[in-house]
Structure 1
Amino acid sequence: MTAISEASRKRARAPVVVRLPAHLVVLFPGADRLVPLVARDVAEMVDGLDALWPGMRERLCDETPAIRRHINVFVDGRRAKLATPLAAGADVFVITAISGG
């Protein structure tokens, strides 16, 4: 039996809360602004969103794959990448950039 670190336990498959912007949600019928998901990292979270609403991955990620240039993901207040781990109960915000002139 191997010892499991506290960090590994916290990253166990437990729900996180994903907050999606309203203008993204309207593109996916039946999508909610608050989505509880089970995910260990941001990439797995994106997979979960895409499983619920096909096409969501293409809205959030480019082909490299990375989070799109004009999309920001914040996990508990810190900017995240696809490899960013998610602790149980993490608060995840998906925010789109707003530009103007």
Structure 2
Amino acid sequence: MPEQTLPIIDVTLPVVLRRLFPDAPRQVRLKAATVKDAIDALDDRWPGMRDRLCDSRPSIRRHINIFVAGERATLQTSLADGSDVVILTAISGG
């Protein structure tokens, strides 16, 4: 998809990523057609972020949850103009 026609989306980053990438804001606006494209765009801005979000298959890491419009997403999930993408880290404890 040509870049000029890519949807403009908002991505909310979790605190843990903002600590690892100190210049990353809580929310970032970018152009992406799929969740994978969004992760690629994040990695272009903050090299190494993809490795924190995806494993080598590639697939979203087990301890990461990504939601689009309140629904759990995969790398293939399509994005529309104005989509809200929320990245969350799993919380464990006992």
Measured against the shorter chain, the TM-score band is over 0.9
Q: Identity over the aligned pairs, expressed in percent?
A: 56
Unaligned runs of 5+ in 2: none
- Residue by residue over 1:58-88, the C-alpha shift from the partner in whole angstroms, topping out at 9 and shown as x without a partner, is 0000000000000000000000000000010
Q: How far apart, CA to CA, are the structure 2 residues paired with 1:49 and 1:28?
A: 11
| 1:37 paired to 2:30 | yes
In 2, distance between residues paired with 1:60 and 1:23?
11
Q: Which letter does structure 2 place at the counterpart of 1:25? A: R
Structure with the greater alpha carbon radius of gyration: 1
Q: How many residues align?
A: 90
The 2-side partners of 1:29 and 1:98 are apart by 21
- C-alpha RMSD of the superposition: 0.7
Question: What code does the residue aligned with 2:51 have?
Answer: E
CA shift digits 1:42-73 (9 cap, x unpaired): 00000000000000000000000000000000
Q: From 48, 51, 60, give the equivalent of 2:53.
A: 60
Corresponding residue of 2:14: 21
Question: Which amino acid is the alignment partner of residue 93 of structure 1?
Answer: V
How does the TM-score come out when normalised to structure 1?
Answer: 0.87
Alpha-carbon distance, 1:95 to partner: 0.3
Unaligned runs of 5+ residues in structure 1 are 1-11
Amino acid at match of 1:76: A
TM-score calculated relative to the size of structure 2: 0.93
Cα distance between partner residues in 2 of 1:38 and 1:19: 14
In 1, distance between residues paired with 2:71 and 2:26? 20
AA of the residue aligned to 1:30: D
Alpha-carbon deviation of 1:13?
0.6
